[in-house]
Structure 1
Amino acid sequence: MKLVTFQPMRTIGLPNVSYIKPEHLFKEKQTIAEADWILFPEYWQVNVLVYGLKKRIFPSIQSYHLGHNKVEMTRALWAVCPEHVPYTQILANTEANIEHILEEFPFPFIAKEVRNSMGRGVFLIESEAQLQDYARHNDILYVQEYLPIDRDLRITFVGDEVIGAYWRVGQEGHFLNNVAQGGTISFEHVPPGAIRLVETVAKQLGINHAGFDIAVVGERLYFLEFNVLFGNMGFRDNQQLIERKIWEYLLTHSSPDSPPFKPITPAPRAS
């Protein structure tokens, strides 16, 4: 099985992988044509690879298209599990819609940039002035109810299953729980229902590589978002596990006589 990757750090342990710089996509068309899978393309390459060159990619095209944009992500979640989405409005940036938001949402509420991750571009709106400032910098108004939580779940789905889950606990006085924003990690008492929900929804949407962020409010589970290219700070001994799960997925969707996974051990650096 021949593999091409555009992000070598995410495929470092996989066998038979050739690295191509993203900007060399068209120069290396022959190598790409001979590959069985294209791994971790950049977003701008996805349509070229799938629709133009007819290649199989990992993560899936659904993962890329839905994970790239919170608007598309939220609409897809509304379609398959609306009861697990916080109350959200997605509106054009007009004065009338700003007035509508002020009438519809009590303070505080959440406003988000459509394309961002790791807690960036998420704002706690506590006044009309803050909403106006957010609106000055965003063409689309993405506004969501505030959930009274001090932690959320990061549940990681790779291939066909959840491979890890943990709580991200926010710092006191902060409304963001992301590890990149100073949150801490706890593996205690992860609710099995949240894992089942992520597995069900990921399979329904065709997502095969994503970190899902889940809020738990009483007995209710809510999707906050998911990130296709997630960080791995919260995993214990995770890199080989992720590589193995990717390899197993590629095998399952490729030739049945492909070899078993044997991770590549990087050569030691010369001293």
Structure 2
Amino acid sequence: MRLVSFNPYRSLGLPGVRYIKPELALRHKDEVKAADWALFPESWQVNFLAYGLKVPIFPNLSTFHLGYDKVEMTRAFWAVAPEHFPHTLILPSNENAIGQVLDELSFPMVGKEIRNSMGRGTFLLQNRRELIDYAARNPVLYLQEYLPIDRDLRVVYVGDRVVSAYWRIAGEGQFLTNVAQGGRLCFEAIPPEALQLVERIARALEINHAGFDLALVEGHFYFLEFNPMFGNEGLARSGVPLAEIIWEYLLTHTSRPPVAPGRPPLARAI
């Protein structure tokens, strides 16, 4: 199986990977086009790889197209599981929109930048002044009801199954649960119904590589978002053999027969 990767960190442990710097992909067009899979491209590469070179990519198109933008992601959640998504407003940033927000949501509320991750670009808005300041910085308003939680559940889905799940607990007095923002991990008391919900939604949306974040409020699960390029700290601590899982998935979904067995080292960077 011929593999090219545009991200050496996320391809660690996969056999026979040829690493190509993303900005050099078209310089090595023939090599990329001949690959069975192009792994972990940058978002700006996805369309020319899939539609121009017609090389299979991992993560797949659905994962990139829905995971790249919170607006697209939210509309997909509304389509398949609206009862599992917090009340959310997506509006142009203007005076009329501010009025609608104040009519439909109460303070505190959560404002997000539509293209950001790891807790960056997520704000707890406590009053009208903070709302107006947020609106001045964002041409699209993405505002959600505030859910009274001190933790969320990260469920990691890779290939065609859930591979790990853990709670992310906010630090004392903190709003964000992301590990990058000081959250801590807990692997105990993982509710099986949450895992079943993620499996159902991931399959419905044809997602094959994502960390789904859920909130539990009064016995009901709400999706907060999913991140196609999730952090690996939780997987490493739980001993999940991520490279093996990805390799098995690629083998079973490739259109070409696999090469002879062996695990050659990663190729050098170009």
**TM-score using structure 2 length:** 0.94
Distance 1:142 1:94, change over 3 A: same
Structure-to-structure mapping, 1:41-120, within 5 angstroms: 41-120=41-120
**Does the Cα contact within 8 Å between 1:67 and 1:226 map onto a contact in 2?**
yes
> CA RMSD, aligned part only?
1.9
Residues 108-257 of structure 1 mapped to structure 2, 5 A cutoff: 108-236=108-236, 241-255=241-255, 257=257
**Which whole-Å CA distance do the structure 2 matches of 1:30 and 1:71 have between them?**
35
Aligned-pair distance for 1:255?
A: 4.9
CA contact 1:12–1:264 (8 Å) conserved in 2: no
In structure 1, give the amino acid aligned to 2:92: A
More relative contact order, 1 or 2 (CA 8 Å, 6+ apart): 2
Q: Distance in 1 between matches of 2:206 and 2:40?
A: 16
Cα distance change, pair 25–237 in 1 and its aligned pair in 2 (3 A) = same
C-alpha distance in 2, partners of 1:225/1:95? 27
Q: Which letter does structure 1 place at the counterpart of 2:4?
A: V
Do the aligned partners of 2:16 and 2:265 also contact (CA within 8 Å) in 1?
no
Q: Deviations over 1:72-113 (max 9, x none)?
A: 000000000000000001001110101111121111111100
Mapped contact 2:16–2:264 kept (Cα < 8 A): no
Give the AA of the match of 1:80: V
**AA paired with 2:102?**
L
Give CA-to-partner distance per residue, 1:114-149, whole Å, 9 cap, x none: 000011111111100000110110000000000010
Offset of residue 242 of structure 1? 1.0
Cα separation, partners in 2 of 1:261 and 1:208, compared to 1, 3 Å: farther
Q: 1:201 and 1:153 mapped to 2: Cα distance?
A: 15
Asked if structure 2 preserves the Cα contact closer than 8 Å seen for 1:240 and 1:263, the reply is no
Structure-1 residue corresponding to 2:34: 34
Report the 3-state secondary structure (helix = DSSP H, G, I; strand = E; otherwise coil) of the residue aligned with 1:49: helix
**Aligned equivalents of 1:46, 1:236: Cα separation in 2:** 27
Distance 1:257 1:53, change over 3 A: closer
Assess, with a 3 A threshold, how the Cα gap between structure 1 residues 110 and 22 changes in structure 2: closer, same or farther. same
Report what 1:269 is aligned to.
none
Count residues with an aligned counterpart.
267
User: Residues 260, 170 of structure 1: CA spacing in aligned structure 2 closer, same or farther, 3 A cutoff?
Assistant: farther
| Corresponding letter in the other structure for 1:156 | V
Equivalent residue letter for 2:198? V
Label 1:239 to 1:57 Cα distance change in 2 as closer, same or farther (>3 A). farther
Q: Which runs of 5+ in 2 are unaligned?
A: none
Asked whether the equivalents of residues 22 and 42 of structure 1 are also in contact (C-alpha less than 8 Å), the reply is: yes
Task: Calculate the TM-score normalised by the size of structure 1.
Answer: 0.94
Indicate conservation of the 8 Å contact 1:247/1:261, yes or no.
Answer: no
Are 1:151 and 1:170, in contact at CA under 8 Å, matched by a contact in 2?
A: yes
Runs of 4+ aligned residues of structure 1 deviating over 3 Å after TM superposition are 236-240, 259-266
Cα distance between partner residues in 1 of 2:262 and 2:158: 18
**Structure 1 residue 45 displacement after superposition:** 0.6
Q: 1:52 to 1:239 in 2, by over 3 A?
A: farther
**Distance in 1 of aligned mates of 2:107 and 2:247:** 47
1:23 CA displacement? 0.8
